[in-house]
Chain A
């Protein structure tokens, strides 16, 4: 499964990757971006099975990236999980309306992340 991890914090990207690799290092491969613009460019040239995206990032934030992707038919069914510090209910609702499949609040629990990925991928 090829996962694009988008977060402006390199440490957070590493934490997310490590938590998945610890579970099953053979199952996952990763691409990384530190903002929405770079993430969009990667998606345009690489096949990606799952997008894990932060909300607050420079240039193009995660919410706007999701909105832009969902406008395009080819990304309509791309599984997207938002991983963010934004814990308010109105943020969750906004992200779901924008088109995320699921939502996790940082700091992320490894087991929860795995469970969400399994759920999202099984539906898609």
Chain B
């Protein structure tokens, strides 16, 4: 696995969590994601990448973690995956993908608007091509989350 190209995404994720949530996410070992596998997440935000390559970036959370993180932003209690939670999750993946482009400037990339996938133990319909998806696990003081990245012909 060539992990050089996932470093900008890792750096962007840590920076976003630090600035947005005042959290210091701890990086765990990235792994090649089995597209048929469910990992027990409740909410994911997915963003498409186009331009000089095609790809996808997603961030996936358990319900309790994303609710607690969103509470930090809005300053009041939240009891469900409401519009604020969905809004903030889409914004996070947008910021991570946009910031990561800085580390991939040799490719001119365009990012899409985020899509949200919600539901207990949901599955994301990843591109069916041979594009491998690298999943990067992080721990926070409030619980774990995953960032997943696939970039055609770049991450091999």
Q: How many residues of B contact A (CB 8 A)?
A: 28
B117 → chain A closest CB, angstroms: 18
Do the beta carbons of A88 and B87 come within 8 Å of each other?
no
With both beta carbons as reference points, the residue of chain A lying nearest to B85 in the complex is identified as A11
Nearest B residue to A55, CB-CB: B98
Interface of B is mostly: helix
The contact of B101 among A86, A106, A109, by CB within 8 Å, is A86
Within 82-104 of A, Cβ neighbours of B (below 8 Å) are at 84-91
Digitize B10-25: 1 where CB-to-A-CB distance is under 8 Å, 0 elsewhere.
0000011001100000
Q: In terms of DSSP, what is the predominant structure of the interface of chain A?
A: loop
Q: Report whether B87 and A87 are in contact in the complex, using a CB–CB cutoff of 8 Å.
A: no
Residues of B near any A CB (own CB < 8 A): 15-16, 19-20, 70, 73-74, 83-84, 87-88, 90-91, 94-102, 104-105, 108-109, 111, 113
Binding site for B on A (CB under 8 A): 8-12, 14-15, 56-58, 84-91, 105-107, 109
Q: List 29 A-B contacts (CB under 8 A).
A: A8-B113, A10-B83, A10-B84, A11-B73, A11-B84, A11-B88, A14-B74, A56-B94, A56-B98, A56-B113, A57-B113, A58-B113, A84-B98, A85-B95, A85-B96, A87-B99, A87-B102, A88-B101, A89-B105, A90-B105, A91-B101, A105-B99, A106-B91, A106-B95, A106-B98, A106-B99, A107-B15, A107-B19, A107-B20
